[in-house]
Structure 1
Amino acid sequence: MHFVKFYEEDFSLSILKTFVLVAVIKQCHNGHTLCSTCKTRVHNRCPTCRQELGDIRCLALEKIAESLELPCRYISLGCPEIFPYYSKLKHEAICNFRPYNCPYAGSDCSAVGDIPYLVAHLRDDHRVDMHSGCTFNHRYVKSNPTEVENATWMLTVFHCFGQYFCLHFEAFQLGMSPVYMAFLRFMGDERETPNYSYSLEVGGNGRKLTYEGSPRSIRDSHKKVRDSHDGLIIYRNMALFFSGVDKKELKLRVTGRIWKEQQNPDGEVCIPNMCT
């Protein structure tokens, strides 16, 4: 139960910090307090004296909650901010230090953590291929190209410029049309994504398709990026044309590179910094 709880923390100013877990505080006729969420869970009976609960608010404690300044819940992850209670809740929803969700798209993985943890998690638990360098050559082969199932995916992690990037390649239905799609996600905050760009290319039989853009942050879910079509999309007929004349087996090779945008000191024009 989320009862109102007080305890003392030894901060640099040695002041009393009070952590209130809910904003609306109820009390029974005997003065026992509990949160509005717990009021529902205990079926409108005070868990202390078993008296029936009405709808009495403890305004005094709510005023205390409003006046308190509390550290961000992600202080252990590096966030130095302190906020009034209500501002704290809004900040935590968008805090740059909040943990990341696992970017693996092949399961409903509930793992969360910082980037080093997720890199190890992808490598050890999902057996994702790890590569160093800023160029890639991704090969996709399918023995029966007439079938395209939703949620057919592959994932590779690349390490360059001291950062990690996830290359997704998958097959799914876009309306009534089976398509293949490749896109890159940045393992970091969305504020950093404009610092990087990438290109993708697929082709064959003297033809090619190219895509260029900035990677999306893993703050955006895999499904959100895929459904926005923000990547290289290859329709099945074109994919079969790239694969060869017999069309009995799908053979696609997606190549690409990642580069870092650098600010030109003489102006605001970005110039690419290639990784070697």
Structure 2
Amino acid sequence: MINHSYLRFHCDICLKMETGGVDSSILSLTMMEEAEHHHHQFSSISKLLNNAPTTTSVHDLLECPVCTNSMYPPIHQCHNGHTLCSNCKTRVHNRCPTCRQELGDIRCLALEKIAESLEFPCRYISLGCSEIFPYFSKLKHESICTFRPYNCPYAGSDCSVVGNIPYLVAHLRDDHGVDMHSGCTFNHRYVKSNPTEVENATWMLTVFHCFGQYFCLHFEAFQLETSPVYMAFLRFMGDDRDAKNYSYSLEVGGNGRKLTFEGSPRSIRDSHKKVKDSHDGLIIYRNMALFFSGGDRKELKLRVTGRIWKEQQNSECTPNMCS
């Protein structure tokens, strides 16, 4: 797994140079400069490895002391051999977080070489992912791992809660007071007094439990260029590849007119702002919304109805199918 001979070769050169065991005429100037340049990092890593009884300890060497994430090349070190990742090098203003020495531009090539021979479990192993990857493939997997936690999908506040879907459903119900509904058809009435201006606003109206999955219904009010609009859309509480298995329709109307929208729900991996900015939903201009309300412009009354269905079945939802 670990190329100890690679480390011993460099460390032996350093040791013999220190004790005078190597005739300087044998070593070329280039080799001496290279050995001197890497002396601190190779001897430091060698000492750490000698005290590391298990592979887990070697993995610990690759943990950045600042952000505690695994380090990937370029791995930096100070003159005393303390290492940290390239992202944190800027965060600590080029000062070693351990000994406060200036970091400079020293690369820890020995640790980078060790990393190439290691395999790591996915960081989401505690959430159910059992995959193991070569060190340099781990990051790519983790960016798309289906077990990675979701951000809270609640709209209208900067909620920092993360977790799996059952946890977030309970969080939305208990902490945000979102209504829960079983079934895949819905009928919502939105009322607003004095709708002469549309201010930027966002609401999560309901979470639906349908086909064993959860869906969030959102309602937005914002300016589209110079026109005030309302927008309704659905998000799927799961990954994008599963969201594509479902479709939904929305409808709003009144006074003999109606607007409809049909599409696939977006995954909550996409923020509600991203969905809103893409205009991927039912958009109702304010004048049309007031017309649906009766046209008196004193109160906005919108009734939004909708339906969710599963594409594989290509059939309308029944109560038995939705629960």
Instruction: Verify same fold: TM over 0.5.
Output: yes
1:244 to 290, 294, 297: 294
2:199 to 125, 128, 149: 149
Using the aligned pairs only, state the percent identity: 80
2:240 to 181, 187, 190: 190
Number of the residue aligned with 1:267 = none
8 Å Cα contact 1:140/1:253 also seen in 2: yes
Number of the residue aligned with 2:266 = 216
Q: Distance in 1 between matches of 2:230 and 2:84?
A: 53
Number of the residue aligned with 2:157 = 107
Is 1:169 the counterpart of 2:169 in the alignment? no
The superposition leaves residues 76-106 of structure 1 with CA deviations (integer Å, 9 ceiling, x where unpaired) of 1111211122211121112111100111111
> TM-score, normalised to structure 1's length?
0.86
Residue 287 of structure 2 aligns to a residue whose secondary structure is helix
8 Å Cα contact 1:8/1:18 also seen in 2: no
Is 1:116 the counterpart of 2:173 in the alignment? no
Further displaced range: 38-47 or 214-223: 38-47
**Alignment RMSD:** 2.5
Number of the residue aligned with 1:201 = 251
Question: What pairs up with 1:29-68 in 2 under 5 angstroms?
Answer: 29-37=79-87, 39-40=89-90, 41=92, 43-45=94-96, 47-48=98-99, 52-68=102-118
8 Å Cα contact 1:28/1:46 also seen in 2: no
8 Å Cα contact 1:101/1:219 also seen in 2: yes
Q: Distance in 2 between matches of 1:42 and 1:135?
A: 55
Number of the residue aligned with 1:253 = 303
Cα 1:25–1:274 shift into 2, 3 Å: same
Is 1:274 the counterpart of 2:317 in the alignment? yes
Q: Distance in 2 between matches of 1:119 and 1:157?
A: 8
8 Å Cα contact 1:150/1:171 also seen in 2: yes
Q: Structure 1: any 5+ residue segments left out of the alignment?
A: 264-270
Residue 147 of structure 1 aligns to a residue whose secondary structure is coil
Q: Structure 2: any 5+ residue segments left out of the alignment?
A: 1-44, 63-69
8 Å Cα contact 1:202/1:210 also seen in 2: yes
Q: Distance in 2 between matches of 1:52 and 1:197?
A: 57
The superposition leaves residues 136-165 of structure 1 with CA deviations (integer Å, 9 ceiling, x where unpaired) of 001000111112100243421111111110
Residue 18 of structure 1 aligns to a residue whose secondary structure is helix
Further displaced range: 151-160 or 188-197: 151-160
Q: Distance in 2 between matches of 1:35 and 1:206?
A: 63
Number of the residue aligned with 1:232 = 282
Aligned amino acid, residue 318 of structure 2: C
> TM-score, normalised to structure 2's length?
0.74
Aligned amino acid, residue 47 of structure 1: T
8 Å Cα contact 1:141/1:249 also seen in 2: yes
Is 1:22 the counterpart of 2:74 in the alignment? no
Q: Distance in 1 between matches of 2:212 and 2:58?
A: 38
8 Å Cα contact 1:137/1:254 also seen in 2: yes
Greater strand proportion: 1
8 Å Cα contact 1:198/1:257 also seen in 2: yes
Cα 1:28–1:137 shift into 2, 3 Å: closer
* Shift, 1:260, TM fit: 1.1
Greater helix proportion: 2
Q: Distance in 1 between matches of 2:152 and 2:143?
A: 17
The superposition leaves residues 143-196 of structure 1 with CA deviations (integer Å, 9 ceiling, x where unpaired) of 111121002434211111111100011211111111111100000110111211
Residue 57 of structure 1 aligns to a residue whose secondary structure is coil
Larger-gyration structure (1/2): 2
2:136 to 86, 105, 109: 86
8 Å Cα contact 2:289/2:300 also seen in 1: yes
Report the count of equivalent residues: 261
Cα 1:249–1:62 shift into 2, 3 Å: same
Residue 310 of structure 2 aligns to a residue whose secondary structure is strand
The superposition leaves residues 234-267 of structure 1 with CA deviations (integer Å, 9 ceiling, x where unpaired) of 101111111114231111000111111226xxxx
8 Å Cα contact 2:155/2:202 also seen in 1: no
